[in-house]
Structures are given as C-alpha cells and as structure tokens.
Amino acid sequence: MEIKTAEYNVWTEGSTIHYEGTLRLSGTDAYQPILDLMQQVLVEKPQNVVLDLTQLEFLNSSGINLLAKFTIELRKHPDVAMKVLGSTRIPWQSKSLPNLQKLHKGVELLIT
C-alpha cells in the first residue's frame, strides 16, 4: 500500500509503515486516507507495528494528531507491540514524539 504525492510518500512493508517528506495536510479529513492505510496494517493482526518516521522532515499538528489517534487505537490491541523510529536530525521528532508514550505506555520510541 502506498500514498504518494510530490510532497510526501507513505507506504507499508509488512507491518512497518514508512513516512517520507513533508506532511502539512489541512485537517482530520485530509489525513483520513493515511489513517486508513495505517489501520489496514492492523487488520492482518501483526505481532508488532513499526512507524518509521526517520525520513519525515515535517509534520503539522493535524498530522501529530493522526499519530496520536493511531497510538490510542493501539491501546485496544494490547497484544500488538508498537515501535516508533525517529531521527535526531529532525527536530520535531525529539520534541513531539514523547507525547505518544504519554498516551500509551507500551510505545517503544527510538530516536537515533
């Protein structure tokens, strides 16, 4: 599965979801196709889900809300481990990703 535009690319490989580029969509509705793609991964009942954000240069607050929504959704699947990969090169990730762990204690956050 893949959603690709000139600004960003979101695709899945097994139960890993990759994000690349700049995501500045206008709100919850505009992010819905991406949320659908993420939720599709859960349908396969994987043991773990990985969000690879190491190439996502920018995410606006509506996009942060998307990640938060998915994290909350994962609380309903306690048997699915969630890992979030970030990069120290991209400042928003160290600033905003720790909020996900406040929503779901089981989130493993690796910012390298």
Partner 1 sequence: MALDFGETTHRNTPSAFSVNIILAEGPLAVSWQHASATCEFLGDLFAHHHAQGGADYNEARHAIIYLVNELLENAIKFRNPGDIMLLCSLEDGNLELAVCNSTAPAVAEKFQSLLSEITSRDPGELLIERIEANAADETSSASGLGLLTLMNDYGARLGWTFEQNDGGAIVLRTYASLTLN
User: CB of residue 71 vs partner 1: minimum separation in angstroms?
Assistant: 9
**Residue 34 touching partner 1 (CB under 8 A):** no
Q: What is the Cα–Cα distance from 93 to 74, expressed in whole angstroms?
A: 20
Contact 14, 46 (CB under 8 A): yes
Q: Which of 39, 89, 108, 110 binds partner 1 (CB under 8 A)?
A: 89
**Binding region for partner 1 (CB under 8 A) out of 11-19, 21-29, 48-56, 78-86:** 21-29
17-31 residues labelled b (16+ CB within 10 A) or e (exposed): bbbbbebebeeeeeb
**Residue 24 touching partner 1 (CB under 8 A):** yes
**Residue 22 touching partner 1 (CB under 8 A):** yes
Per the listing, tokens 């928003």 go with 92
Q: Which of 26, 78, 79, 112 binds partner 1 (CB under 8 A)?
A: 26
Rg from Cα positions in the chain: 13
**Residue 65 touching partner 1 (CB under 8 A):** yes
Q: What is the Cα–Cα distance from 64 to 78, expressed in whole angstroms?
A: 22
Q: Which of 92, 106, 109, 111 binds partner 1 (CB under 8 A)?
A: 92
